[in-house]
Structure 1
């Protein structure tokens, strides 16, 4: 059978007035503290019907059984169940409600209702339904969910109800009758209704609603910030606080109403009187509608007028007073108050505190009090009066009248055409952008015009003493009795007048002109320009690089440069100027009627007169301009420039820079490290400190003495230093030269020189001493010569030669050629395809990026390569070792078998050659270079396509010669060709391997008919030091002889080789040259496939080709000795001739 669950009330929860069972006319209520989760019954009925049946103990439905359980789980009763008597009553919310007795047997075990009861509401029984409950449907009975902690809404009836709100934010309404309402915890809304009610908010921020028909209520706010509201009243209220949170209230229809624990009142739409003047606690009073009268007390009150023409007085305490809309009167009273007029034409009046007054919309009148007040007019045409104290007044929009009153006030008109009066005190007038046409009247004291609010530059023009105009973006103002100016962040322009103006231009690059009075002009931050006037002026640069301009007719000028690089400019003075420095950046000037003193100045600039400048103890900078000037630097590191004219410049003590400029100048460095600077010359200069001569450009005719360094021009200069102490008239026996732009020639000669070539293609020679040589950009030729030199090539394809000494060299970017010379050198190639030659000594070399070549010569010592690149590119490593200059014990060029590869003991490889030379390869595993194929090839003798060789058939192109053909040799006549082969290199191959580009031998250079192209390592017969020797073609190209050069424009080439039974001298178009010599490096370069091909053609060479025997043992020696590179390149050029 179906089961039905019904909510019910326990017998003890229903309290009948006077006790007993309810009858018609009796009253009852549900316990005010009742909660469903704690006190509700659960009635479970099992029945085959949908409603109760049975009407008496003797008329039962035995199939209708039930069990009644409390909220705690206890069983009240069980068995055959029925409904007993019913009681009908009226609920203020649900209307007509019936309460039924739940019975098991003859016992009443609980109650059920057709609608939920409201806890605490007093109900009156209007009728009873005795034994007529049969047939009540289960679904017509109420479910009960009231919880004390929820946000509940309880409405009392016409009786004397007792309502309790619980923990939630409840809404409690007593209705008619003398009700007792307790809000409980939470922020409750409570209204007593008709009758004399007792209303208590208890905890939380509660709100009590009082209307005209409320009766004589007693209101207790309790804890929290509680409010009494007359929002629903139809007449005005009279409220008087007589104590903290307590007092009386009066409303038509409500008499002798009292309250306590109340922190705020809200008036209604009528004329309320809210008075807290008798208490010192803080309250919040809001008039809302109507013309309200509100008086605060001694606390920090919040007073709001709302709509209507309100009168509000703060009295004591720091109050917030807001008039709201309409025309209000607001009085601050004692304390530091905030008064807000809002909409309407308001009157705001401060008193003794530091008050804030905001007029808002409307035509307002604001009056400051005795202290330091802040007044904002807002919109429309307002009147602001500061009163006593140092006030801030801002008119806002509209055409305002602003009167600062006594004290040092700050006044701003803002938008609109305003009139501002400073009155007494030192007043400040603020000017910004788009603020209309204002009139400013300063008053008796020294007042200030402040333009710091302007976003751009400001122009201020003084027309008289303290009078003038100021213009910003959208603002034009006239001023009078305003003696001082404070600029802003823009680039301001100020024109002084007849008065004694005081100007601080502020940030920005400002332009300031003094006037006829004794002015004080301060540039502030930024690069400012200041002009003195005819009075006794004081000019202050402050921060930035400032310029002080002195003109004819100026009065006494006192200049203070401040921080930055500041300049005093006398160029407008047409006559001679004499300047005497009295200290670092300080001195005096006599220019006739004007006396100028200065300090904190870094540069003195004079004009076209014959000027005299005597420097002081600091680092002076002087530019004298045209005229025959005399400059003496004095102590300190001075920069002295004569510019045009016949100038005499003496540096004095310190490390000075002397710039003669155009004209025949006398330049004497004095003591210290002194430099003459020709960087502004209009042509190249030639300076020789050895002979003390100077020619060319601005140097022409200059007389030099006591100079240690030279800066060249932007042209092709020649700068030669002194040799040693005997040729130096300076204080130091070394040179500091800087060539600048142009293709310069710089020779340091004696001493440890610092030489800088600068841009373009320079030639720099260090000479003796430990020199610093820097080529700069361009393709430079740098020579360190003797001493431990530091050399840097910079950008470009540079040639660096260290000479003797332990040199440090850095090629920089570009394809550099670097020769360390003798000594233990450190050589770094940098970027590019560099050639590094350590020379004698134990050198350390690093090629850097690019495909680099390391060149070694006999006696080169124990060298180290730190970054050898073994990347394999078309059969060759990216970096190469050129050991063509090394020889074995018999004087012949070394081959792969002569190189002994071992470990260096530190993870790298060590290569040792017969002459004792060693090469340490840092980080290179010896196993990577131990095989002959891994050793760098030194050269492969071969011809290019088209070269004609002399044979028994006459001259035949080399590419047409085959094995078995007879070729003519110089030593053995016609000899058979054992093997012939070739290799073609296209443009890409030549671009990636530029060292394989052919060498062009011009017609007739070595007896050849027509030009001949050969590989760079191919050897030709020539006479060297009186003997016939084989000379490699690439070495001939390095001699500088125009008949031999690298064919860089060749885009592709074919190389061909012929092998005879022994090494021979053959004739190529009349030129005597070698055949292929199958040494290990040649075979390695040809590759294993070609080596195997040669072994088949010449089996006797198989051990040589396999690296098991030396070529000289099985094949024989070379036809002639091979000349060393240094033999060819040292001394006079060799006598080259064709073989007979």
Structure 2
């Protein structure tokens, strides 16, 4: 390690070594070159040139108009004052200018270069370019020009009339106080007013935002509001709009939008497109508009009761649901009820009750012991984890129990019942279940078909039992052949060999009671049939949904290296 000092106040070229060097300039216009190692370069007064070279270097300059280049490595580059050019070059660099480390600054150009950089301007009119990588850029006071460059960047103008550009990548931009020009560039970019002290009015369709000044918005897709009562409107793109606190009005307009109300009594309108709503706490109005729209209570810590037929969801407040087709529950024991449209209902965690009612519905129980009722229509039911009770209702339904010990009832129609790995109980209506298929991958299972009598003669009102390859076939139409009006249990037999004379021909097995049938095929006697479906539970409370994740904390700003005493 070497300490190298300028001999006098004249212009001096000082060059380090391949080791860790400390080089001090003097009052003249000095050129300091660190070469290899972790070097520390002090420019002192004058218009200096500092080059760190290879390694993680520290470059500090005084009041002159200097050029500071970190070179390769993760460098710290700081300047007290002057019209400086500061460059991080390759590596994850930190560049700090002006009064943040003492003194005022006139105008500085700060270039991050390659890597994930932290750049903080000073009191003057700074020009900042993050370059490649994930950069964190702040202009501070005065009218700054800040460009994120390539990568997804955080760009903050702070005070002054700033010009902010996200460039390439999905960027986070906040103009601060003043009349700012904010251009997102390529990618999905968000403008944030989270630090605003007054309510804001933002309209992406017109490209104007007012509140902390008048901002011009270009190439912005997403909005973050303030803690006040904001009015936030999207455009024809797919917008993320976040109200935060306050009684906010969020309008998605065209596109498939994601609207998050936050705290307060909010009004959320999706417009055209298939939209996602999370109202948050308070008494909210959620208007889906056109398209297939979803209201989510994911992240709720207490039960939720949402009913699309009557258009309400109750909880920490009372939400008014208009034009909503789909619901996501929370982690509690939720009650979700559809309407006559095609509904997607997802219970997520908890012991949930889901009822599709009319229409072709998709019901997902999630974790917990759930009750799923498809209702009328051709429905798709999936119980998920837990011991679930699933009833397809009228229509040709697909019913999947999951890995628990499930009860699966097809209801009327040609249903497909798949039990999963647990010990499942199947129930089919013998008068309406023609064309149904049962498939199971494990466990000790039971089957009940009320409304039929087994008979060898296949008289009216009776059924026959036979085999088709590896499938067990229950002949409900008594014609002695396999067709769409039979009930088929697939993979019931281990092999295709047996007494069946040919594919499509049923060999009747004889007159058996239901107990004898279950015993003959090593199937447990059926448990009691499922109980009638419970009435819709009393509405419960929806909690505040979880908003989109907060942008990650930028890398910490390293402390200012101490300036050693003059030798």
Query: TM-score w.r.t. structure 1 length?
Result: 0.37
| Aligned-partner Cα distance in 1 for 2:184–2:261 | 23
Select the residue among 293, 308, 312 that pairs with 1:693.
312
Select the residue among 731, 735, 741 that pairs with 2:343.
735
| Higher RCO, Cα 8 Å, sep 6+ | 2
Is residue 2:236 matched to residue 1:624? no
Select the residue among 846, 859, 865 that pairs with 2:439.
846
Is residue 2:350 matched to residue 1:721? no
Contact 2:171–2:187 (CA<8 Å) still a contact in 1?
Answer: yes
Which residue pairs with 2:392 in the alignment? 784
| 1:491-547 deviations in Å (ceiling 9; x for gaps) | 533221133322233455433221323322233455533221323322233455533
Which residue pairs with 1:757 in the alignment? 365
Change (3 A) 1:589 1:394: farther
Pairing of 1:239-388 with structure 2 (within 5 A): none
Which residue pairs with 2:108 in the alignment? 483
Deviation of residue 642 (structure 1)?
1.5
Select the residue among 504, 508, 528 that pairs with 1:1038.
528
Deviation of residue 635 (structure 1)?
0.9
Change (3 A) 1:782 1:399: closer
Contact 2:368–2:386 (CA<8 Å) still a contact in 1?
Answer: yes
Is residue 2:529 matched to residue 1:529? no
| Aligned-partner Cα distance in 2 for 1:419–1:843 | 83
Flag the structure with higher helix content. Answer: 1
Flag the structure with higher strand content. Answer: 1
Contact 2:372–2:381 (CA<8 Å) still a contact in 1?
Answer: yes
Which residue pairs with 1:568 in the alignment? 191
Select the residue among 392, 405, 411 that pairs with 1:797.
405
Change (3 A) 1:936 1:740: farther
Select the residue among 924, 928, 947 that pairs with 2:496.
924
Deviation of residue 664 (structure 1)?
1.1
| Aligned-partner Cα distance in 2 for 1:537–1:639 | 29
Which residue pairs with 1:201 in the alignment? none
Which residue pairs with 1:4 in the alignment? none
Change (3 A) 1:492 1:739: same
Deviation of residue 940 (structure 1)?
8.4
Deviation of residue 576 (structure 1)?
1.2
Which residue pairs with 2:140 in the alignment? 515
Contact 1:413–1:438 (CA<8 Å) still a contact in 2?
Answer: no
Which residue pairs with 1:613 in the alignment? 232
Deviation of residue 701 (structure 1)?
2.5
| Aligned-partner Cα distance in 1 for 2:95–2:172 | 29
Query: TM-score w.r.t. structure 2 length?
Result: 0.70
Pairing of 1:885-896 with structure 2 (within 5 A): 886-889=454-457
Secondary structure of 2:408's partner? strand
Pairing of 1:487-502 with structure 2 (within 5 A): 487=112, 491-502=116-127
| Aligned-partner Cα distance in 1 for 2:248–2:97 | 48
Contact 1:434–1:473 (CA<8 Å) still a contact in 2?
Answer: no
| Aligned-partner Cα distance in 1 for 2:313–2:345 | 14
Pairing of 1:80-479 with structure 2 (within 5 A): 413-415=35-37, 429=51, 433-435=55-57, 449-451=68-70, 453-455=72-74, 458-461=75-78, 463-467=80-84
Secondary structure of 2:205's partner? strand
Deviation of residue 462 (structure 1)?
5.1
Which residue pairs with 1:712 in the alignment? 329
Is residue 2:179 matched to residue 1:556? yes
| Aligned-partner Cα distance in 2 for 1:782–1:496 | 62
Contact 2:242–2:260 (CA<8 Å) still a contact in 1?
Answer: yes
Deviation of residue 663 (structure 1)?
1.0
Contact 1:412–1:430 (CA<8 Å) still a contact in 2?
Answer: yes
Contact 1:908–1:926 (CA<8 Å) still a contact in 2?
Answer: no
Contact 2:242–2:261 (CA<8 Å) still a contact in 1?
Answer: yes
Secondary structure of 1:497's partner? coil
Deviation of residue 673 (structure 1)?
1.7
Deviation of residue 577 (structure 1)?
0.6
Secondary structure of 1:788's partner? coil
Change (3 A) 1:477 1:612: closer
Is residue 2:208 matched to residue 1:588? yes
Contact 1:567–1:601 (CA<8 Å) still a contact in 2?
Answer: yes
Contact 1:433–1:473 (CA<8 Å) still a contact in 2?
Answer: no
Select the residue among 641, 649, 652 that pairs with 2:268.
649
Deviation of residue 469 (structure 1)?
9.0
Which residue pairs with 2:539 in the alignment? none
- Where in structure 1 are there 5+ consecutive unaligned residues? 1-362, 364-382, 386-392, 403-408, 724-732, 824-838, 860-884, 942-992, 997-1033, 1042-1128, 1130-1140
Secondary structure of 2:241's partner? strand
Change (3 A) 1:621 1:822: farther
Which residue pairs with 1:577 in the alignment? 200
| Aligned-partner Cα distance in 2 for 1:994–1:468 | 84
| Aligned-partner Cα distance in 1 for 2:110–2:289 | 48
| Aligned-partner Cα distance in 2 for 1:463–1:440 | 5
| Aligned-partner Cα distance in 2 for 1:677–1:926 | 53
Secondary structure of 1:582's partner? coil
| Aligned-partner Cα distance in 2 for 1:765–1:683 | 23
Change (3 A) 1:683 1:854: closer
Change (3 A) 1:629 1:418: closer
Secondary structure of 2:363's partner? strand
| 1:534-590 deviations in Å (ceiling 9; x for gaps) | 233222334555332344xx223222334555332212212111001127xxx3211
Contact 1:803–1:822 (CA<8 Å) still a contact in 2?
Answer: no
| 1:393-449 deviations in Å (ceiling 9; x for gaps) | 9975677899xxxxxx9976545666889x99xx995565354666599869xx5x4
| 1:794-819 deviations in Å (ceiling 9; x for gaps) | 33222222222333343334333334
| Aligned-partner Cα distance in 2 for 1:890–1:399 | 102
Contact 1:649–1:666 (CA<8 Å) still a contact in 2?
Answer: yes
Deviation of residue 601 (structure 1)?
3.4
| Aligned-partner Cα distance in 2 for 1:912–1:596 | 72
Secondary structure of 1:750's partner? coil
Contact 2:197–2:226 (CA<8 Å) still a contact in 1?
Answer: yes
Contact 1:541–1:560 (CA<8 Å) still a contact in 2?
Answer: yes
